[in-house]
A and B are shown apart, each in its own frame.
Chain A
């Protein structure tokens, strides 16, 4: 059964700290891995990763995929209170048809 596991489930840090969020997966016919940030309601897209070892970067956020070890990490440096959110990892896979499997998310709280 396809699954996506995120860790930690929750973490609390102080502003300025660096955090690393993990996403591991076991899926048949992996196509891509996506990271989303969910604040109050609607998730917003962060990154899509398809190739191993190539870091994607957007400001203080960066992400990398390891297709051999089947995981991805999302790094946030110099965290700010506005980074507080649930970070969702999703994997696109094909099993006859395409589908997206989401992890349960990591809840990040950044304290001032």
Chain B
């Protein structure tokens, strides 16, 4: 079946502009996660959704970052007034439900470059 999809696959923007990244999880998966990965670094947790609510926003690096999920499906991650340090690959993952033992399935990521 269809996996997690993300769009755009690549985004180049100028410093100070806003960007919106989209994640389409696997159908029926209730949990959705956003991570980012800088070049040569590990995954950095950003935010987690269970259904439409976000019980854990602890990883958002600043108030320029926000995310929402509507209809328990598609999620968007918005970065306002982008900075060069925001350049990274933004990965979305989904799982059938919350809980540590549930496997997370990752999308291909959005590569964001802030000039």
Q: Are chains A and B native binding partners rather than an unrelated pairing? A: no
